[in-house]
Amino acid sequence: MKSSWLEKNTFHYSEFNNLNRLVEEKQRKNLKISLCLPTLNEEKTIAKEILIMKSELMTRYPLLDEIVVIDSGSTDKTRDIASAFGADVYEAAEILPHLETFKGKGENLWKALYIAQGDIIVYLDTDIKNIHHRFAYGLLGPLLLFDHVKYVKAFYDRPISIGKSKIRPTGGGRVTELVIRPLFSLFFPELTQILQPLSGEYAGVRELFEKIPFPIGYGVETSIILDIYEKWGLDVIAQVDLDKRIHRNQDTRALGKMAFAILQTFIRRKRKLGLVDFREDLFDEMIQYNLVKNQYMPDIYKIEGHERPPIIEVPEYREKFKR
Amino acid sequence: MDDHLDKLHGFVDTITSMKETIITNIVLIGQIPAPTFKEKKRIGVFMERLAEFQVDECTTDGYRNPIGIIKGTSEKKPPIFVVAHLDTIFSKDIDHYYTIKENSITGAGIMDNSVGVGVLLSLPEILRKLNLRFESDIVLAGVIQSLGKGNLRGIRHLLKTWATPIRGAVCIEATELGRLSYYTDGMIRCEVECNISSDNGWEHKFKPNAILILNEVINQILKLRLPQRPRSRVIIGKTSGGFKHGVIAYNATLGFEIQSNSDKMVKSIFNNIKDVVEGIGHEHEVDLKLKTLSNIHAARLNFAHPLVKSTVAVMKKLDLVPISEPSESELSIFLARKIPAVTLGITRGENYHQKNATVEIEPISKGIAQIIGVLMAIDSGGCDEEQLA
Beta strand spans in chain A (E): 10-12, 33-39, 66-71, 88-91, 120-123, 151-155, 202-205, 214-215, 237-241, 285-292, 295-302, 307-308
- Residue A165: pLDDT band (50, 70, 90) is very low
Chain A nearest-CA distance from B133, in A, is 21
pLDDT tens, residue by residue, A179-195: 999 999 999 999 999 99
Q: What is the mean pLDDT of chain A?
A: 90
Residues B180 and B196 in one domain: no
Residues B140 and B97 in one domain: yes
* Residue A259 exposure: Cα atoms within 13 Å on the Cβ side: 20
**pLDDT (0 to 100) of residue B50:** 93
Task: Give the residue numbers spanning the domain of B334.
Answer: 2-184+299-379
For A48, nearest residue in chain B (alpha carbons): B100
Which are the contacts of A290, defined by CB distance < 8 A and separation ≥ 6?
Answer: A296, A297, A298, A299
**pLDDT (0 to 100) of residue B79:** 96
Task: Give the residue numbers spanning the domain of A46.
Answer: 4-248
User: Which of B250, B269, B296 delimits the end of a domain?
Assistant: B296
pTM: 0.86
**pLDDT (0 to 100) of residue A244:** 81
Q: How many domains does chain A have?
A: 1
User: Which of B296, B317, B349 delimits the end of a domain?
Assistant: B296
End-to-end CA gap in chain A = 39
Q: How many domains does chain B have?
A: 2
Residue B37 lies in a domain: yes
Beta strand spans in B136-285 (E): 138-143, 168-175, 179-181, 183-184, 186-195, 232-241, 251-260
Provide the residue type at B129 as one letter.
Answer: K
Nearest to B24 among A45, A51, A81 (CB): A51
Residues B222 and B370 in one domain: no
- The arithmetic mean of pLDDT across residues A235-240, rounded, is 96
- A23 — contact with chain B (CB < 8 Å)? no
Residues A132, B20: C-beta atoms closer than 8 Å: no
Residues B97, A129: C-beta atoms closer than 8 Å: yes
Residues B37 and B173 in one domain: yes
Nearest to B21 among A60, A81, A84 (CB): A60
How big is the A-B interface in CB pairs under 8 Å? 42
**pLDDT (0 to 100) of residue B331:** 95
Q: Reply yes or no on whether the pLDDT at A164 is more than 70.
A: no
pLDDT tens, residue by residue, A95-138: 999 999 899 999 999 999 999 999 999 999 998 888 999 999 99
**pLDDT (0 to 100) of residue A1:** 61
Q: Reply yes or no on whether the pLDDT at A173 is more than 50.
A: yes
Residue A154 lies in a domain: yes
ipTM above 0.95, yes or no: no
Nearest in space to B183 (alpha carbons), one of B71, B270, B278, B304: B304
From residue A152, alpha-carbon distances to A111, A217, A237, B116 in Å are 20, 20, 6, 37
Q: Reply yes or no on whether the pLDDT at A56 is more than 90.
A: yes
Beta strand spans in chain B (E): 57-60, 66-70, 80-85, 99-101, 104-106, 138-143, 168-175, 179-181, 183-184, 186-195, 232-241, 251-260, 287-296, 299-300, 323-324, 341-347, 349-350, 358-360
Residue B123 lies in a domain: yes
Residues A44, B28: C-beta atoms closer than 8 Å: no
Percentage of chain A with pLDDT > 70? Answer: 93
Q: Is the peptide bond before B230 cis (omega within 30 degrees of 0)?
A: yes
For A44, nearest residue in chain B (alpha carbons): B99
**pLDDT (0 to 100) of residue A162:** 46
Residue ranges, chain B, pLDDT below 50: 387, 389
User: Which of B247, B276, B296 delimits the end of a domain?
Assistant: B296
Chain B residues within an 8 Å CB radius of A47: 100-102
Nearest to A47 among B21, B28, B101 (CB): B101
Residue A226 lies in a domain: yes
- Residue A159: pLDDT band (50, 70, 90) is very low
Q: Which of residues 193-252 of A touch B (CB under 8 A)?
A: 246
Chain B residues within an 8 Å CB radius of A60: 21
**pLDDT (0 to 100) of residue A171:** 53
Residue B388 lies in a domain: no
Residues B23, A55: C-beta atoms closer than 8 Å: yes
Nearest in space to B112 (alpha carbons), one of B321, B355, B323, B333: B355
Residues B180 and B71 in one domain: yes
Chain A residues within an 8 Å CB radius of B28: 52, 132
- A52 — contact with chain B (CB < 8 Å)? yes
Residue A256 lies in a domain: no
- The arithmetic mean of pLDDT across residues A35-55, rounded, is 96
For B21, nearest residue in chain A (alpha carbons): A55
